[in-house]
Amino acid sequence: MSNERNVKGLLGTKLGMTQVWDENNRVIPVTVIQAGPCV
């Protein structure tokens, strides 16, 4: 048994919200984030 955790994250500034459509034409709300510069 392992005690390791694989944590993923993103640091950035929230610019706003928008929407995208999936393959079934459903609207999905998404957050727009400005991230970078990445080192």
Which residues share a beta bridge with 33? 14
Contact status, residue 22 vs residue 28, Cβ threshold 8 Å: yes
**Is the pTM value of this prediction over 0.85?**
no
Tokens read off for 4: 């390791």
pLDDT in tens, 1-39: 667 888 888 889 999 999 999 999 999 999 999 998 876
Residue 15: the pLDDT is 97
pLDDT of 9 reads 87
Token digits of residue 20: 């995208």
Q: How many residues does the chain have?
A: 39
**How high is the pLDDT of residue 7?**
82
CA distances from 3 to 6, 9, 11, 19, 36 (A): 10, 19, 25, 38, 31
